[in-house]
C-alpha cells in the first residue's frame, strides 16, 4: 500500500523540511501588478497534485526583495494597501484591480466625503437657524423622541434613564 503525498497530514519534521526547502528554493511568483505606494503584488499557482486549489497571493513593500526579508527592518511605515488590492489578496475577487478602477473608486469616495461634509454643514446651519427662531424642526427629531441628553444619548418616553428611575 502506498500513500499519496498529495493530501496526507504532514508531521512536524516534514513541515520543517518543507519550510527549509521553500526557504532555500525561494520560489518567486509572477508579478501581477503594482500600486501607487510602490507595493508589488505576486501570485504563485498551486503545484499540480497538490491539495491547494487557490493560488498563493502576496505582496512586497518597496525595498523588500523577497518574502524572507522582514519589512519592519526596512525602516518604512506600515504598508498601505488599497481595498481593491486587499480584496484580490484575500481571494474575494478573481482578477487584480486596474489603475483606472482604483482611481474611479478613489474619486467616488472623495465625492461621497465632500457630499457628507456639505450635508453636515447644512444640518448645522439649519439647527442654528431653528434655535434662533425658537422653532424646532420636526424632521430633526422624530415624534416619539425627545432631545438628546447631555451625554448625547436620546431620551425616549417610557424608558428609564437610570435603574429604577422614571422620568
Domain boundaries, the chain: 12-96, 98-133
Q: Give the pLDDT confidence of 68-117 residue by residue, as tens digits.
A: 777 677 777 777 899 999 999 999 999 999 999 999 999 999 999 999 99
**C-alpha cell of residue 151:** 451625554
Other Cβ atoms within 10 Å of 97 Cβ, number? 19
pTM of the model: 0.59
Burial class for 85, CB neighbours closer than 10 Å (0-12, 13-18, 19+): buried
- Provide φ and ψ at 31, rounded to 5°: -70, 125
In this predicted model, which residue has the larger pLDDT, 16 or 86? 86
Alpha helices (H) along 27-165: 83-89, 99-133
Mean pLDDT, residues 29-57: 90
Q: Give the pLDDT confidence of 120-147 residue by residue, as tens digits.
A: 999 999 999 888 887 655 444 444 445 5
Amino acid at each position: 500500500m502506498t500513500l499519496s503525498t498529495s493530501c496526507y497530514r504532514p508531521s512536524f519534521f516534514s513541515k520543517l523540511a518543507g519550510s527549509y526547502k521553500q526557504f532555500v528554493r525561494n520560489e518567486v511568483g509572477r508579478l501581477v501588478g503594482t500600486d501607487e505606494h510602490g507595493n508589488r503584488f505576486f501570485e504563485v499557482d498551486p503545484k499540480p497534485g497538490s491539495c491547494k486549489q487557490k493560488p498563493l497571493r502576496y505582496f512586497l513593500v518597496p525595498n523588500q526583495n523577497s518574502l524572507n526579508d522582514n519589512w519592519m527592518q526596512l525602516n518604512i511605515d506600515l504598508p498601505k494597501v488599497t481595498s481593491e488590492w486587499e480584496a484580490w489578496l484575500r481571494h474575494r475577487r478573481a482578477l487584480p484591480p486596474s489603475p483606472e478602477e482604483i482611481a474611479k473608486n478613489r474619486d467616488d469616495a472623495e465625492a461621497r466625503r465632500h457630499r457628507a461634509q456639505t450635508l453636515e454643514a447644512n444640518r448645522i446651519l439649519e439647527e442654528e437657524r431653528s434655535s434662533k427662531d425658537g422653532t424646532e424642526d420636526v424632521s430633526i427629531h422624530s415624534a416619539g423622541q425627545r432631545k438628546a441628553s447631555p451625554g448625547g444619548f436620546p431620551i425616549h418616553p417610557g424608558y428609564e434613564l437610570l435603574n429604577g428611575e422614571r422620568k
